Amino acid sequence: MSHTHPQAPALSPQPTPADEPGACVAFVLVSWHPNVPAGMERATHAHAAALIGLGARAVIITADRRAPHVWDGIPIEHLSSLNVDFPCDDTTLRDAALQAQEAITEQLQAIIGAHQVSAVVYIDALWGLGLIMPTSPTSTGTSTPHHDQQEDPEDREDQAAQADRRVRHVLAAHVVGHDIDLRASLAREPHTVIAPSAVVLHQARARGYDTSHWQVVPNPLTQPTAPEPQAPAPDRQDDLREHLRTAGPVRVLARLGAEKGVADLLQPLSETPGELGWLLHRDRQETHPSSIGVPVVDVALAAAPFEVTAGAQDEVRARCERLAHQAGPSVAIRPGMPWHQTGAWLAGASVVVVPSLAETFGMVALEAMSGGTPVVAYDVGNLPSLIGDAGVSVPRDQGPIGLWRAAQELLQEPVRYRAASRAGYYRSRDYGPALVARQLLKVVS
């Protein structure tokens, strides 16, 4: 890949009007593109949409040339001073960012000024360019007097007012990541550091970082957590959920990363089903004719614009498809889906299994919970705290069999299942867009 970089180009022609009311927060995530199946990309959109819904302004800054100029009412700026192709690995991105640092900074300054940004959130030390964030506050349309110009009291008052309008630089540590990137980001002295869960703070402290001034700002749901006006009455909801308990598919939604654990989850189904026969051979045709043709285990997998090594995502997909084929027609592998479709898809499951080996937040689990679907997951990262009594947290050492056993037990206990469904819905309300947007504005102001 070539690492030559052009001069900072002109801005895209859709800037937010300078006189639009409300503070403006910019989110920098170079891999951002609509519908990317990854937590940081999804959270970036969720935060931006939530801020706009609250009456503030937001802009997303990405290096993905395919991203539109406006999406879901959010202005999108293209950081073309960073010359990378996607999918991209960490080393390639780091080299490109450092080589083009001056041009990137110049273009970021121009975008910040054009949108009258009051705070910039760098989503990750590396992928959000936290490692090259400006080392001093950036003024919006202000200037500093020459050192040998004499100042009077009014000038000093003006400068104090200007300082109050300076841009705040915020590092969002969704994951601790590589020390080389995080140390470089912290050395640039961001105004504050935020993380989506206390788990990130704990992991950072374990690696020797001082997190005493870090703050937790969770990821918001992108869809309203309150029932839609046409939603069925609670008793009808219970009827629908009971139907799903007995006839709905078990669903898995993940990106194509080995750490998401999907291939390991499918392995027992393809080798020696044994006690898993209850799942693969559920006879739903007589009692639930509508379930005919619906797979018992329904897995949606999608590629992201980043991967550990070139071709790693293709390898994971090939393994999952091979295991599904060996398990038989009860197991289906489908492509990923747009963000706006995932909520309904997860809500239509009997149980959502999250086999991830590490999760610093757990957006898939939260979205399933918001639709009333119980979740089964390993007790890793933020998942136990997030799920609580809305499902089952399985000890990691029990492996995939432990996840399948937990799903079976939950589906066989109607009272427990209904309680988990209701608990998930009410727990998800703590992550409503307006609530989280207000919290973010308070932290970055």
C-beta separation of 83 from 5 below 8 A: yes
Digit-coded pLDDT (tens) for 426-441: 999 999 999 999 999 9
The 10 Å Cβ neighbour count of residue 57 is: 22
Do the domains spanning 24-140+163-217 and 234-430 agree at the CATH topology level?
A: yes
Q: How far apart are CA 122 and CA 193, in angstroms?
A: 10
CA torsion sign for 372, 373, 379, 383 is negative
Residue 267's closest CA among 335, 319, 303? Answer: 319
Task: Report helix, strand or coil for 91.
Answer: helix
Q: Answer whether residue 207 shows pLDDT above 50.
A: yes
- Average pLDDT, stretch 69-85? 95
pLDDT tens track for 273-315: 566 666 766 554 444 444 445 679 999 999 888 887 878 889 9
Residue 14 has pLDDT above 60, yes or no: no
pLDDT at 231: 44
| Residue 356 in this model has a pLDDT that exceeds 50 | yes
Predicted pLDDT of residue 412:
93
pLDDT band (50, 70, 90) for residue 445: confident
pLDDT over 90 percentage in the chain = 70
Residue 165 has pLDDT above 60, yes or no: no
Q: Is residue 178 predicted with pLDDT exceeding 80?
A: yes
Query: Is the per-residue pLDDT at 16 higher than 60?
Result: no
**Average of pLDDT values for 214-242?**
70
**Which of the two residues, 98 and 293, has the higher pLDDT score?**
98
Indicate the range of 138-147, 282-291, 409-418 predicted with least confidence. Answer: 138-147
Decide: helix, strand or coil at residue 353: strand
Residue 422's SS3 state is helix
Lowest mean pLDDT among 10-19, 64-73, 118-127, 213-222: 10-19
Q: How many angstroms separate the Cα of 287 from the Cα of each of 89, 156, 204, 398, 407?
A: 49, 79, 51, 33, 21
- For the chain, the domains span 24-140+163-217, 234-430
Q: What is the CATH number of domain 24-140+163-217?
A: 3.40.50.11930
Total-model pTM = 0.84
3-class DSSP state of 324: helix
Nearest-angstrom CA–CA distance, 303 and 87: 9
Identify the pLDDT of residue 6. Answer: 36
SS3 assignment for 153-186: HHHHHHHHHHHHCCCEEEEECCCCCCHHHHHHHH
The DSSP bridge partners found for residue 195 are: 216
- SS3 state at 250: strand
pLDDT for position 223: 60
Structure confidence at residue 41 (pLDDT): 94
Rg (CA), the chain: 24
Rounded distance between C-alpha atoms, residue 420 and residue 407, angstroms: 12
**Residue 375: in which H helix or E strand, if any?**
strand 375-378
Selected residue with higher pLDDT from 254 and 231: 254
Tell me the CATH class for 234-430.
alpha beta
- How far is Cα 438 from Cα 445, in angstroms, rounded to an integer? 11
pLDDT in tens, 372-413: 999 999 999 999 999 999 999 999 999 999 999 999 999 999
* Owner of token pair 């997998």: 301
Q: Three-state SS for 59?
A: strand
Q: Is 164 exposed, middle or buried (0-12, 13-18, 19+ CB in 10 A)?
A: exposed
Going by pLDDT thresholds of 50, 70 and 90, the confidence category of residue 235 is low
**How far is Cα 442 from Cα 445, in angstroms, rounded to an integer?**
5
Averaged confidence pLDDT in the chain: 85
> CA-CA distance, 86 to 360, in Å (whole number)?
24
Comparing 112 with 269, the larger pLDDT belongs to: 112
**Nearest-angstrom CA–CA distance, 218 and 220:** 6
